[in-house]
Chains A and B, each alone.
Chain A
Amino acid sequence: MIKDKHINALRDIVGEDNIYSDKAHLIAYSYDATRTKYEPDAVVFPRDEDDISDILKYCNRYKIIITPRGAGSGFTGGALPAHGGIILAMEKHMNKILEIDTQNMVAVVQPAVINMDLQKEAQRHGLFYPPDPASEEYSTLGGNVSENAGGMRAAKYGITKDFVMALRAVRTNGDIIRAGKKTIKDVAGYNTAGILIASEGTLAIISEITLKLIPMPKYKKTYMGIFSDVDSAMNAVFKSLSSGANPVAMEFLDKLVIEALIDKLGVDLPKDAGAVLVGDVDGNVSDEIDFQLKTLEESFKENGATEFRVAKDDDEAKKLWYARKNASQSITIYGNKKLNEDISVPRSMLPEALRNIYKIGEKYGFKVPCFGHAGDGNIHVNVMIDISQLEEGEKAIEEIFQMVVDIGGTLSGEHGIGTSKAPFMGIAFNNEEMNLFRDIKRAFDPNNILNPYKMGL
Chain B
Amino acid sequence: MTKSVPHVVREPIDLPQAQVPLGRVHVIVERCKQCNFCIKYCPTEVLEYSEDINAKGYHYPIVADGKEFACVNCRFCDLICPELAIYTTDISDADDTAEASDGG
Q: Tell me, yes or no, whether A binds B.
A: no
User: A residues near B, CB below 8 A?
Assistant: none
| Chain B interface residues toward A at CB < 8 A | none
